[in-house]
Amino acid sequence: MNHLIKNTQRLLLLLIGLLPFSILGSVPIKPVSAADSKVNIPYANGRVVYNLKTGMYSVYSHNELIFSNIIATCKVNGKTLSSADFPERKYNQISISDKFGNGSRYTITLKGNGGIEMKQVFYIYNNRLYFITQVELTGGYLKSNYMSPFKGNFAGIAGDARTVFFPFDNDTFISYNSKPFIAPTANTSSETGVVFDNTSRKGFVFGSLEHEVWKTGVTTTATKDGANMVNVFGGYSDSTVTRDKIPHGEISGTTIKSPKVFVGYFNDWRTGLEEYGKANRLAEPPFIFNWTKPTPVGWNSWGVLQDKVTFDEVIKVAGFIADSLPGFRTGNTAYVDLDAFWDNMVKGGSEGDYSKLKEFADYCKSRGLQPGVYWAPFTDWGWKSGPNRKVEGSQYNWGDIWTKVGDGYHEIDGARAIDPTHPGTQQRIAFMIGKLKACGFKMIKIDFLGHGTAESTHFYDTTVTTGMQAYRKGMEYLIKQLDGQMLVYAAISPNLATARYVHTRRIACDGFKSMHDTQYTLNSVNYGWWLTYMYNFIDADQLVLGTEAPGVNRARVLSGIVTGTFFTGDDFSTTGQWTAVAKKLYQNKELLKVIKNGKAFRPVEGNTGDKTTEMFTQWIGNDFYLAVFNYSNDAREYKINRRRLGLPPNQKYNIKNLLPGDAPISLTQLSLTTKLPASDAALYKFSKE
């Protein structure tokens, strides 16, 4: 009885904000009626308890308090408003049915603050282990570049506590970073946030579900008193992350809304991120047509040829793939993709003679291959030559279409951004895509898309006021011009916002052939593998064999397999060590079976900082696959509890290493042990006996 009294006292103190909730244990939750000024909003394994008197709410998972003192806060017309500032609050509930399923929408309406009405909206769906929330303001003419629907405290995390930095894009060789979550630690990441215990794997997942208006930030802060803080807000601008040189653009109108935000607490943070990825796919369905053909595989010229690409060389590459790699297929074809500098084959500049490109495309198709090409729709690489150059396919000059930022322009990667909403940009897109379609290309790799998301002082389309609105305009126009005729592959691009517009996306920045390249690429798989549920495919980009040691070759090949698709990049116009390795590995039917599955492997560990886990796993039907990497310069032995891998303790398996090499493995009822040479990798297939 004394224990019950103490917990009741603590709960009362908590709800009025006088007690850090990290010291509160599990408290039985009883339904509270609206007459008591509490609104109970139940979801699958938890509930939101909203206090109509204070404008704050708490969240419980089962009977455990996980969030407290949560408010919505917005900056509007130069003033900061909080849900705690309004004197009048009421709520209503209606049934809903949409792509998430059946459920309820709860709306808390707040009034009495300078003629502005605030609504806090909660979307609850049957059997979903999360809820979705949004804040909305209505009034006269409102302007805001900061709206946070979810800000407050969350429970302490025991064990190996981690918070992850998620980048906005995959440019400048940026990495994900799983940081220790120990006071005083503050981490702001883009669109997505997690805090979890890597030992138990329990953790929180929060993030944006909408990317057509806002760039979203997620700040997680560990404090010494245990009252950890989280803030999920639309309006994130950071020169090192979102690449913006000015604050986030303002949205305006008589009604303005924050992005919808996903909030969940999961027994496994990896499951939580996978659910988050799937929720994003539901919230913003693809604008592009759905890809129903087999997982794409092929070759890309940026691996080795790069700026030295010529017609004769790529014809030889296509011939090699047709004649010497006939088994390198997931369907009836493979792609032969020309990256940057394909214009080496075009006489007379961009408005010149494309006959050699068409000849290349025709040759590929005559050999049973699909031709691919490359383009960057939102960049001017020749800006140093001045503003008075004519934009191909338009009546505008380049200086007319540059993205304006204060008294200057937006530049990154050596290129100047162009305004996606400008008619000159769109005329150029229509012209170039028309040329590439006329050549007969069946794949396009689009690059440097982040230039199209830049915040600008002024867009040509005056209805557009944020970088993400501009990105939507530009990408939708591009996809309409492609007219469903090509596989669309994104290279450097926003991690989440690009999912509506492409079929496959490169997971990291350029990686080539070294073990360092492999480890860098797999850092993005370690913490971004769940993007496999937002895209048809994610990809490790050019996989170069070169003259690296056999173990390094195996690791590079496996990095592509665990990412989900496979594009190689060696110079197959000549013969070398790489041609023999390719013939052996690229036509391995067991490896191709894994590639055909088309989904990224799951990481085993999440406490690697800006490096990556050594193990990734995947179930395909009844078969279990374990990828093991040794990034070090010394031989290593790995021993791990089989439950940690997701293997039932008593099931017996036949185990086969699908990659050639010396990598012995043993399995007991409780654990698995394997040994790998220095700088090597193995892919084990477990089949039930």
Pick the CATH number of 614-688 from 1.10.443.10, 2.60.40.1180, 3.50.50.60, 3.40.50.300: 2.60.40.1180
- Eight-state DSSP code of residue 35: G
Residue 225: per-residue pLDDT = 79
Burial 577-610 (b: 16+ CB within 10 A, else e): ebbebbeebbebeebbbbbebbbbbbbbbbbbee
- pLDDT value at residue 19: 35
Q: How confident is the model at residue 227 (pLDDT cuts 50, 70, 90)?
A: confident
Q: Cβ distance 116 to 82 under 8 Å?
A: no
Q: Are the beta carbons of 426 and 395 closer than 8 angstroms?
A: no
- pLDDT(505) > 50: yes
pLDDT of residue 14: 37
Please report, for residues 369, 464, 659, the alpha-carbon distance to residue 330 in angstroms, rounded to integers and kept in the order given.
12, 42, 18
In the chain, pLDDT over 90 holds for what percent of residues? 90
- Angstrom distance (rounded) from CA 398 to CA 414: 16
pLDDT tens for 261-293 read 999 999 999 999 999 999 999 999 999 999 999
Burial of 278 (0-12, 13-18, 19+ CB in 10 A): middle
512's CB contacts (< 8 A; 6+ apart) are 303, 542, 544, 546, 569
What are the distances in angstroms from CA 289 to CA 187, 430, 446, 479, 483?
A: 37, 19, 16, 9, 9
**Stretch 246-252: mean pLDDT, rounded?**
98
pLDDT in tens, 636-683: 999 999 999 999 888 999 999 999 999 999 999 889 999 999 999 999
Check whether 43 has a pLDDT greater than 50: yes
Is the Cα dihedral 41, 47, 48, 51 positive or negative? positive
Instruction: State the pTM of this model.
Output: 0.93
Cis peptide before 603 (omega within 30 of 0): no
Beta strands in 484-528 (DSSP E): 487-490, 504-506
Per-residue pLDDT reduced to its tens digit, 61-73 = 998 999 999 999 9
Q: Is the pLDDT of residue 212 over 80?
A: yes
Contacts of 660 (CB under 8 A, 6+ apart): 550, 554, 584
Sign of CA dihedral 257, 146, 508, 433: positive
* 646-654 contacts at long range (C-beta below 8 A, 24 or more positions apart): 646/617, 646/619, 647/672, 647/686, 651/688, 652/688, 652/689, 653/624, 653/686, 653/687, 653/688, 653/689, 654/686, 654/687, 654/688, 654/689
The C-alpha angle with vertex 339 and arms to 443 and 574, in degrees rounded to 5, equals 110
- Residue closest to 595 by CA, chosen among 544, 558, 553: 558
d(Cα 98, Cα 10) in Å, to the nearest integer?
A: 39
Structural element, H or E, at residue 521 = helix 515-528
Find tokens 């099931």 and name the residue.
Answer: 651
pLDDT at 113: 84
> From its phi and psi, is residue 16 left (phi > 0), alpha (psi between -120 and 50) or beta?
alpha
pLDDT bucket at 90, cuts 50 / 70 / 90? very high
* Predicted local distance difference test score (pLDDT) of residue 650: 85
Q: How far apart are CA 373 and CA 346, in angstroms?
A: 13
Is there a contact between 66 and 204 (Cβ–Cβ < 8 Å)? Answer: yes
Which is it for the CA torsion 434, 438, 443, 448, positive or negative? negative
Domain boundaries, the chain: 2-283, 330-506, 614-688
Q: Averaged over 323-333, what is the pLDDT?
A: 95
Whether the pLDDT of residue 197 is over 90: the answer is: yes
Residue 142 structure tokens: 């409102």
Give me the pLDDT at residue 36, please: 60
* Pair 337, 445: CB distance under 8 Å: yes
Supply the pLDDT for residue 5. Answer: 36
| Distance between CA atoms of residues 368 and 633, nearest Å | 42
Q: Kindly state the average pLDDT of the residues 494-508.
A: 98
How far does CA 272 lie from the centroid of its chain?
Answer: 14
> Could you give the CA distance from residue 279 to residue 132 in angstroms, rounded to a whole number?
10
Q: Percentage of residues in the chain with pLDDT exceeding 70?
A: 95
Is the confidence at residue 616, as pLDDT, over 70?
yes
Residue 22's pLDDT band (boundaries 50, 70, 90)? very low
The answer to whether 236 touches 216, Cβ cutoff 8 Å, is: yes
2-283 folds as Beta-galactosidase; Chain A, domain 5 (2.70.98)
So what's the architecture of 330-506 in CATH?
Alpha-Beta Barrel (3.20)
The total of other beta-carbon atoms located within 10 Å of residue 687's CB is 12
How far out from the chain centre does Cα 315 lie? 35
- Check residue 254 and give its pLDDT: 97
Task: Select from 318, 549, 524 the least CA-distant residue to 541.
Answer: 524
Tens-digit pLDDT profile for residues 257-269: 999 999 999 999 9
Start-to-end CA span in the chain (Å): 55
Which tokens sit at 403? 């993205």
- What are 408-457's pLDDT values in tens digits? 999 999 999 999 999 999 999 999 999 999 999 999 999 999 999 999 99
Which residues have C-beta within 8 Å of that of residue 511, sequence separation ≥ 6? 517, 518, 520, 521, 540, 541, 542, 559
Digit-coded pLDDT (tens) for 527-586: 999 999 999 999 998 999 999 999 999 999 999 999 999 999 999 999 999 999 999 999
Residue-wise burial string across 186-209, b where 16 or more C-beta atoms lie within 10 A, e elsewhere: ebbbbbbbbbbbbeebbbbbbbbb
Q: What is the amino acid identity at position 649?
A: P
**Token pair 């007379």 in the structure block, residue:** 348
